[in-house]
Structure 1
C-alpha cells in the first residue's frame, strides 16, 4: 500500500494531464491513421521517454520547495493568476479553432517518429510545473513523501499513465474521429472551463492559507 498510493497517484495525474486533446496525443492518433500503429507507438515511446525526465525533474524541484511554505504559497498565487488569465482568454478572447482538411502524409521511418515524439514532448513545458504542483499538493495531504523509492514509484506511475492514455488515442481515435470536429469547435470552452475550475480551487487554497 505504501508504494501503491504513489503509483496510482502518478498514473491518475498523468491521465488527467494528457487526456485532453493536445499536440502530442493528437499527433500520435494522426500518425496511427496515416502511417500505422508501429510508427505511432515509436512516436509515443519517444514522447514518454522525455516525460520521464520531466516528471523526475519536477518532483526533485518540488522536494526542494516543499520545506518552504512561503514558496509554495507564492507558486499557488502565481498559478492562480496564470489560470485566471488562461480562463479569460479561452472563454472570451480566443477565436474558434478551425478544423483542418485531411492531407496526405508521407511514410516516415520509425526512427524519425521516435525523435519527433521526443521533440514535441521536449517543447511541451507544461508537465514540469504541473507535476510540481501535483506532488506538493499530494505531500500536503500526506499522500506522498519525497523519498527516493517513493519518487521513483510516482514517476513510474506517471509514465504508465502517460503511455496508457496515448495508446488509447492510438487505439480508439479511428472510432471517434467523426466526433473530433465537435471537440475542436468547443476546445476553447473545454480548456477554459478546466482552467477556471483549477483557478477556483487554487484561490480557495490561497484563502484557506491566509484566513483558515
Structure 2
C-alpha cells in the first residue's frame, strides 16, 4: 500500500508543482508551435531528466534532515525568514511579469534536449518543494524513506511532470488565453502561497519552543 501511495503522491505533487504556467512548460509549448512536437518532446525529455535527479536528491536530503530534529528546527527558522522576505517581495516590490513575445529560432532536436536540461537545472524550486512534500507525507505515515518507495515516488513525479508538459504541448492553443490571467496575477499568487507557508512555519516554530 505504501508503494501505491508513493506513486500517487509523487504524481500528484508533480502535477501541482508544474501545472501553473512557468518558463519550462511555456517554452515547451512554444517549441511545439514553432518546430513541431518532436522538438518539443526532446526539450521535455531533457527537462525531465534533470527533474528526476532533483526529486531524488530532494528526498535524500529530506531523509537526512528528518533523522535530525535539530536540523529541522533550524531549517524552519531559516525558511520562515526566507519566505517572509519572498512574501514582501512578491506582494509589494516585484513588477508584473510581461508576456514573452520573442520568437524561437529553429534548432536541432539535440539542441532542444540540452536546452530543456539547462532550463530545468536553473530551476531550483523542485528541491525545497519535494523536501517539504516528502517530509510532510512521511510525518503522516503516507511515505517511507525506503529505497523502493523513494524510486516509486520519483517515478510518479516524473510521470506527473511529463503529463503536464505534454498537456501544454498538446493543448496550449486552447489554454493560451488563460495563461494571461496567471501572468498578470503571478506575483499575488506566489506571494499568497509564500505568506501561508510563512504563517504555518511560524506556527510550527512557536509550537516547538512551547513544548
Query: Is the pair's TM-score, using the shorter chain for normalization, greater than 0.5?
Result: yes
**Equivalence map 1:69-88=2 (5 Å):** 69-88=69-88
**Is residue 143 of structure 1 aligned with residue 142 of structure 2?**
yes
Q: How much does 1:172 deviate?
A: 1.8
Residues of 2 paired with 1:100 and 1:5: CA distance? 38
Give the RMSD, CA atoms, in angstroms.
1.5
TM-score normalised according to structure 1 size:
0.93
Distance 1:60 1:35, change over 3 A: same
Residues of 1 paired with 2:30 and 2:172: CA distance? 8
1:130 equivalent in structure 2? 129
Residues of 2 paired with 1:131 and 1:175: CA distance? 30
Alignment length (residue pairs): 211
Q: Alpha-carbon deviations, 1:162-207, whole Å to 9, x = none? A: 1111111112211121232232221111111121122222222223
Q: Alpha-carbon deviations, 1:17-60, whole Å to 9, x = none? A: 21122111111111112211111111111100111111111111
Q: Alpha-carbon deviations, 1:90-117, whole Å to 9, x = none? A: 111111222343x433222211111110
Residues of 2 paired with 1:30 and 1:197: CA distance? 33
Is contact 2:30–2:104 with CA below 8 Å preserved after alignment? no
**Equivalence map 1:169-208=2 (5 Å):** 169-208=168-207
2:57 equivalent in structure 1? 57
Unaligned 5+ residue runs, structure 2? Answer: none
TM-score normalised according to structure 2 size:
0.93
Distance 1:28 1:210, change over 3 A: same
Q: How much does 1:85 deviate?
A: 1.1
Which 4+ runs in 1 deviate beyond 3 A? none
